[in-house]
A and B are shown apart, each in its own frame.
Chain A
């Protein structure tokens, strides 16, 4: 097994490679000359303009994928639940619902408030799912949390449909956004969400060594000098910010946060100081690759990235549930 820094470097190289593919490959085939011209900011013909549009989309896919991968890894650690994922735990749905309400009832426009509202919705949904999932004997078991989260997601999705029903002015854009994707992302939106994601990544870095202690059980974590409640709270905040901010721009994208940390754990082990950065790289790679795949699979149309990640993620979800050690994270 190669050493851990090798995998991390490989992950980073993978992100860069996928960013390259995401700019080069699209619905429209672009010549080399137009590619270079487009990259240097020229928009003289359609091909060059296509390149210019692919740049923010690529950045958003990389950032959003990293955010979802990291968020999923942190959620799995703090809940000790292998099924934890911002999609499954209802966090993305909470963010999406809050944004929909904001648009439909308060005419909320794209702004910092918009992202903040998404994060607030994500936090409320996370708290709600945790309370419901912890009720009853046995506390918050993995399956109870997953069920509570899935039920909450479904309920919020129906509520969202109810809200936009008869609102033809917004229905189309909301429904398109609900599928989850990075098509049409502009540099403005990337700039809007970047500070929130940066905060989320910083909190993730702070949390990594502490999650290692938390993995030993709450009592032993306290025994080695960790403030267990603080670690949980800050980690959860970071995970919710990452998932909520990403959902605000890209819509709810599922399964990245679930699948990526599991694959990274197989590669690099259970040390969060390595697992968290690799999960971020892995999430970026998955979202970039899914986005590129979505552009070429059904040419000349596009498949939204949320659909592609679901196709990849569902089999992984089934494999995890079928394994007997679901409880042993």
Chain B
């Protein structure tokens, strides 16, 4: 999907030649140290940033030359900090995800209503529908944003750190929700994740970035190794198999609190 991408902000180049193909129907997690370019990659793939060189292809066509509205019918985006207008209800906010499907007069159609209802139902926010978004907890609010992205009915969903600011129970809840969407609707998910163990547990494919390049890419079992983490994060760690998921997980090694056995 991404071909030889070079991109950045205000003349400062962040991505130095990234090639990435997103596997359809899979959950892909992008990991990497701060400022390695993972958010920039996601934003460039979401057409928020125009690449200095290279192309982002969606169904074989450059995303930056297609009409932004036609892209929005295929590709949904949840940025890191979206804004909720003061006093808006959950149902009204979710309905704004229908925008790319609406014409000039933008009357809400029966199809729009159905899509909103389905999205509320799928995210367990149906009983919040008439509540004001301001009054929701962080976890509820994140589910509402995901509901909005679902109402957009896209095949592809890009999320920038969807679990930030959530406690661990809500992090699991949000990721489980995304897995449900992936399983039941076949939505291709690409997300930037901070928590490495959650990334290794939930993703079908991991993309590890370092200094504007892709350092490693593949299924967690093959990619998520101690040498990779050492190289990408500069962190000594041990990788073991997580007994609950059978996926790899890492235990960081610091300079303190190390038992004799761990060496």
Contact = CB atoms under 8 A, between A and B. Distances in A.
Nearest to A218: B48
Contact of A225 (B43, B69, B87, B106): B69
Given A224-B97, A225-B100, 5 more contacts: A216-B84, A216-B85, A219-B43, A219-B77, A219-B79
A223 B106 contact: no
A225 B72 contact: yes
Interface string B73-105: 100111101111111100010001101101010
Nearest to A219: B79
Given A225-B72, A225-B73, A273-B106, A217 B79 contact: yes
B99 A209 contact: yes
B68 A227 contact: yes
A224 B77 CA distance: 8
A265 B86 CA distance: 10
11 contacts: A209-B99, A209-B106, A215-B85, A217-B83, A219-B43, A220-B82, A222-B47, A223-B76, A225-B71, A225-B100, A273-B106
Given A223-B76, A225-B71, A270 B82 contact: no
Interface string A42-80: 000000000000000000000000000000000000001
B28 interface: no
A99 B162 CA distance: 52
A325 interface: yes
B71 A219 contact: no
A134 interface: no
Contacts of A150: none
A269 B134 CA distance: 14
Given A225-B72, A226-B68, A269-B92, A329 B48 contact: no
B207 interface: no
Contacts of B78: 220, 223
Interface size class of A (residues with CB under 8 A): 20 to 34
Interface in A222-241: 222-227
B88 A270 contact: yes
Contacts of A217: 79, 81-83
Interface residues of B, number: 32
A223 to B, nearest CB: 3
Q: Is the interface of A mostly helix, strand, loop or mixed?
A: loop
A226 B71 CA distance: 10
> Lowest 4 A-B CB distances belong to which pairs?
A225-B72, A223-B77, A225-B69, A219-B79
Nearest to A217: B83
A269 B88 CA distance: 7
Contacts of B40: none
A80 B83 CA distance: 10
A288 to B, nearest CB: 28
Interface of B: 43, 46-48, 67-73, 76-79, 81-88, 92, 96-97, 99-100, 102, 104, 106, 152
A80 B48 CA distance: 20
A216 B83 contact: yes
Given A213-B96, A225-B99, A225-B100, A270 B85 contact: yes
Nearest to B76: A223
Contacts of B46: 219, 222-223
Contacts of B85: 215-216, 270, 329
A225 B92 contact: no
Contacts of B72: 223-225
Contacts of A325: 86
Contact of A212 (B76, B84, B86, B96): B96
B79 A220 contact: yes
Given A212-B96, A212-B99, A213-B99, A222 B82 contact: no
A169 interface: no
A270 B77 contact: no
A271 interface: yes
B256 to A, nearest CB: 37
B141 to A, nearest CB: 13
Contacts of A212: 96, 99
A219 B102 CA distance: 19
Nearest to A210: B99
Nearest to A214: B83
B217 to A, nearest CB: 25
A273 B83 CA distance: 18
